[in-house]
Each structure stands twice: as C-alpha cells, then as structure tokens.
Amino acid sequence: MPDNETSELNRLMRGLPGVEKLLQVQSLRDLSKTAPHELLVETARQTLDETRQRIRQGSAGAADLGLEGLAGQVARKVEQTLETNLREVINATGVILHTNLGRAPLSREALAAVTEAAGSYSNLEYDLESGERGSRLSHIESLLARLSGAEAAIAVNNNAAAVLMVLTAFAQGKEVVLSRGQAVEIGGGFRIPDVMRQTGAKLVEVGTTNKTYAQDYEGAVTPETAMLMRVHSSNFKIIGFTASPKLEELSVITRRHNILLVDDLGSGTLLDTARYGLTHEPTVQESIQAGADLVTFSGDKLLGGPQAGLIAGGKEYIAELKKHPLARALRLDKMALAALQATLQHYLRGEADRKIPVWQMMARPPEDLREQAGRWQTRLAATWPGATIIEGESTIGGGSLPGETLPTWLLALPVPLGGSANQLQAVLRAQRPPVVGRVERDCLLFDPRTVLDFQGENLLTALERTPPVKPE
C-alpha cells in the first residue's frame, strides 16, 4: 500500500471515537436507563470494529458517520436485540393455515385458558378428588375420545411425533405395508420412508404411484407384517386415473391377519369440510368407524388449536403408547394442553365455526368479504386513489385440502409505473405489526378473510403510512 494511502487510513482510524466516548452520546445515555450496560458496551465495540473493517476495505462513507451516526447504529442494534423477535403479524395473504405465519390462531377462550394455566399453579398432574398424583393426559383424553368416537386418545407435541411414536411402539423391526403413492414428503423434509427407517420399521411399498388395490396389500402381508398404513397426501393430490381401497377394505385384511390398521390423516378434521363449499376431507370419526385401530392427526391445522399430534384409537393400543418411553419425551406442556382442551370444548358445544378462527374464516360468505374490502377501499381513497376491489380466491394452506380454494374479494393496490411491489412489501413488513399480503399482476392484494377482527384498524393504518411509491 502506498505511503499516502497508509497515512489516510491511519487518519481515518484515529478519527473514530473510543467505546467510552461513544457511550457518552446523549441518545446512548438515554438508552442506558433501560438497556443493560454490558450490552451497550459490547454493541459499541462491535460497531466500531465493523466500521474499522469497512474503512480498511475502502467502503465509501464508512468514516463519515460522525459521533451521532455511530451512536445511532449502536442504538438500533441494541433495540433490535432487546425487541421480541417472535411477534404478531397481520396475515392478509388469504392463506388460512399459513405455515410460515404460525398456522391456526387460537380462539379467545383458548388464549384465556393458556393465560390461566401459565400465570398460576394448576392441577396439571394432580387429582383434586383424591389429593394424589394424576395424569396430564386426563384433561383431554375423554374429550378427544368422545369427539372422535374412539375408545381412548393421547396427545404428543406434533403429528410427526405421533407417527414416529406409533411406528416405534408397534412396528420396530417389523414390516409396514404402504401404498407407493403415499410414501410422501411433507414440509421441512419430513419423509415417511425416512421416519420408518428411524423407528426400525421396514417399509413395504405396494401398488403404483396412481393405483393401488386391496389385493396389493393382501399379497404383501407376511408373518413379519406389523401393520397396514394409510398416509394422507397432505400438500399434493393425484388426479386422473387413480384408485385406492377404502379404509373398510383394509380393515377386513387387518382383522383377517391380526395386524394393525393405522390411518395418518395429516391435518385431520372433526367437521365436514363439504359444508363450507370444499371437497370432503376424511374426518377422524369416519376413520374410527371404518375400522382404523389408530388415527393420527394435527392439532394446529384444521382442528384450529395449538401445535399437537393427536392419536385416537383402541384402548389397548393407547394404553401401550402411554407407557412407552417416548410418551414423556414427546409430551405436551401445560399451556398447549390448556389451549387444546379449550379448543376441543368448542367442538363439544357445537360452536367450532363460531368460535375457532380457522372455521370462522372458512365459514365467511363472499358478500361479507366484499363489504369489508369495500370499506377498506373507501377508507384508503385519499392515500391510494387507484385502489379497487376484485374477485379472488383464498386457500386453506398448511398441507390441508391441496388445490382447494374459497371465493373471496380482495383489496387491490396497483403498483405505480416504475414503482416496485417488492419495495412496498418490504415497507409493510417493517410496520408494527408487520403486514404480509401477496402480489399478483403488478398489484398488492389484501384478503379480508385472514385478517383477524382486531387487526383491521392496524392494517389500514399501515397502508395509510405507505403511500404509492412514485417513480423518479
């Protein structure tokens, strides 16, 4: 490096303040009243190190921030560190069970139950009648059994865990017969064949990708077979020339050979989705009635509750699962149990589509949504004069009812010529709370179906703060 460049570099380095001088800037002195001193010192040191590195790399403007500018960087970093990272988001995408946005929001009653369980002691594992130790599973077992029509039930921390537990308990070292078209992979790389290998079960695939018959299952049964298994396709569907046996047909085979029939419903539902203009999704009750020994399904999808894996079935099989070593490793905590119990009680009272947000959203008529989108358009007329309402579709999401949609009405905000939809999206994501919509045909779209009642005003305020980006 030439001497003049070295001299300039040294001059810029010497011009940077020390940590103590930087912390004396008024904005950081004010911040020190709420932020830990150690965090301020560490962040100031890190910011100065990063600035030195940028100066060495010749980054333009790295040395021009000045004392106030450096202090501002430190303050922003400290505030980001102290800010809660997991926070409320306004989901205006129209995807009801948005996996990336936390899937099913809880009902008010479920939220209250969580607060009560978390904020005080409870009878989680205490029998109030006998005064002796009880079981945490007792709070939901009878409810879940009654609603599903099963003899007994158990809950673990998600449906993947439920499948893992059933295979480990009943098929370790033995064969599991599965249709080739059901050896699926769902979100996060969860593959049924991999799970089977992990549990020590041996996968026996039968049939073809699109067609499998009862005789294919029958022909694969050997003395080493532990169960026949049906797995819901979850986030895809096969159309055209397809065939698959009814669960009742598989039940006949399992009874004849004295083996288990396990039905993994994936999302799982206790209500008939056809009542809401959707394709009929097999219900948990139907699987039990058809002869499934064990049925596994999720708590935070179509059920509309907290993350959980639910297993309903025969009393002897559930008893076996309860005493399995995995039962403790995969158990639900008190908050999830409280939310799950409150959610199941909505079904018991016949009020699920009036109280559970997922079902409220699916039950909303299009004319209702059109009226709400129209109110939004009127409110935003001054800020977004080009706003219109258009027909659109909401989707279920969460690996539930793939390809199924519900008619809706959308608020459409056109992106000005030369503007950027991505830029507008970024601005909305930076709001408090962040807003997530979707982009189609150079428009930002907002679906009222997935915006919760108490979030409407915040959505409109965020849009009013984000006027159209005018091209330069």
CA dihedral 248, 197, 220, 181 (to 10 degrees): 60
Q: Which of 355, 384, 412 is the last residue of a domain?
A: 355
* Helix (H), strand (E) counts: the chain: 20, 18
Residues 173 and 286 in one domain: yes
- Give CA torsion, residues 264, 268, 271, 273, to 10 deg: -100
> ω into residue 433 within 30 of 0, thus cis?
yes
Measured CA distances, 140 to 307, 310, 341, 352, 432 (Å)? 14, 10, 6, 17, 36
Beta bridge partners of 115: none
Given a contact cutoff of 8 angstroms between Cβ atoms, the answer to whether 430 and 132 are in contact is no
What is the Cα–Cα distance from 310 to 442, expressed in whole angstroms? 42
Count of domains forming the chain: 3
Taking alpha carbons only, the member of 296, 289, 294, 276 closest to residue 401 is 276
CB 343 within 8 A of CB 110: yes
**The residue type at 313:** G
Which of 355, 376, 409 corresponds to the end of one domain?
Answer: 355
Does residue 327 lie within any of the structural domains? Answer: yes
Q: Is the distance from CB of 269 to CB of 284 less than 8 angstroms?
A: yes
Residue 469: inside a domain: no
**Structure confidence at residue 472 (pLDDT):** 42
> Degrees (nearest 5) of the Cα angle 215, 218, 221?
150
Whether 403 maps to a domain, the answer reads: yes
Could you tell me which residues come within 8 angstroms of residue 198 by beta carbon, excluding any fewer than 6 positions away?
164
Give residue 188's region: left, alpha or beta (phi > 0; psi -120 to 50): left
Same domain (yes/no): 332, 192: yes
Residues 271 and 369 in one domain: no
d(CA 414, CA 470): 12
Q: Could you tell me if 380 and 349 lie in one domain?
A: no
Same domain, 217 and 186: yes
| Domain end residue (candidates: 338, 355, 372) | 355
Answer whether 92's CB lies under 8 Å from 412's CB.
Answer: no
Question: Any idea of the CA torsion for 331, 336, 339, 340, to the nearest 10 degrees?
Answer: -30
58 and 71 assigned to the same domain? yes
Buried (b) or exposed (e) across 278-300, using 16+ Cβ within 10 A?
beebbbbbbbbebbbbbbbbbbb
Helices (H), 299-351: 315-322, 326-329, 334-348
Per-residue pLDDT of the chain (472 residues; tens, 9 = 90+): 456 666 777 777 888 889 999 999 999 999 999 999 999 999 999 999 998 888 887 765 555 678 888 999 999 999 888 887 888 999 999 999 999 999 999 999 999 999 999 999 999 999 999 999 999 988 999 999 999 999 999 999 999 999 999 999 999 999 999 998 887 666 556 677 788 888 889 999 998 878 899 999 999 999 999 999 999 876 556 665 778 889 999 999 999 999 999 999 999 999 999 999 999 999 999 999 999 999 999 999 999 999 999 999 999 999 999 999 999 999 999 999 999 999 999 999 999 999 999 999 999 999 999 999 999 999 999 999 999 999 999 999 887 888 889 999 999 998 876 677 888 888 899 898 999 999 887 789 999 999 999 999 999 999 999 877 554 4
3-class DSSP assignment, residue 218? helix
Residue 224 and residue 372 in one domain: no
- Asked whether residue 31 is assigned to any structural domain, the reply reads yes
Residue 308 · residue 298 · CB < 8 Å = yes
- Residue 55 falls in which region: left (phi positive, over 0), alpha (psi -120 to 50) or beta: alpha
Do 265 and 430 form a contact (C-beta atoms < 8 A)?
Answer: no
pLDDT value of position 471:
42
The pLDDT, as a whole number, for residue 419 is 73
CA atoms of 358 and 354, how far apart (whole Å): 10
Same structural domain, 309 and 363: no
Q: Is residue 470 part of a domain?
A: no
Would you state the structure tokens that stand for residue 272, as one six-digit string? 């008939």
Q: What is the CATH number of the domain that holds 444?
A: 3.90.1150.110
472 assigned to some structural domain: no
332 lies in some domain: yes
State the residue range of the domain holding 335: 106-355
Alpha-carbon span 461 to 458, nearest angstrom: 5
Give yes or no: residues 73 and 119 share one domain.
no
- Mark whether 281 and 297 lie in a shared domain: yes
Q: d(Cα 103, Cα 300) in Å, to the nearest integer?
A: 6
Distance CA 95, CA 268 (A): 18
The domain that holds 288 is classified in CATH as 3.40.640.10
Same domain, 147 and 281: yes
Same domain, 382 and 287: no
Parallel, antiparallel, or unpaired: how do β-strands 294-298 and 260-264 relate?
Answer: parallel
Q: Would you say residue 56 lies in a domain?
A: yes
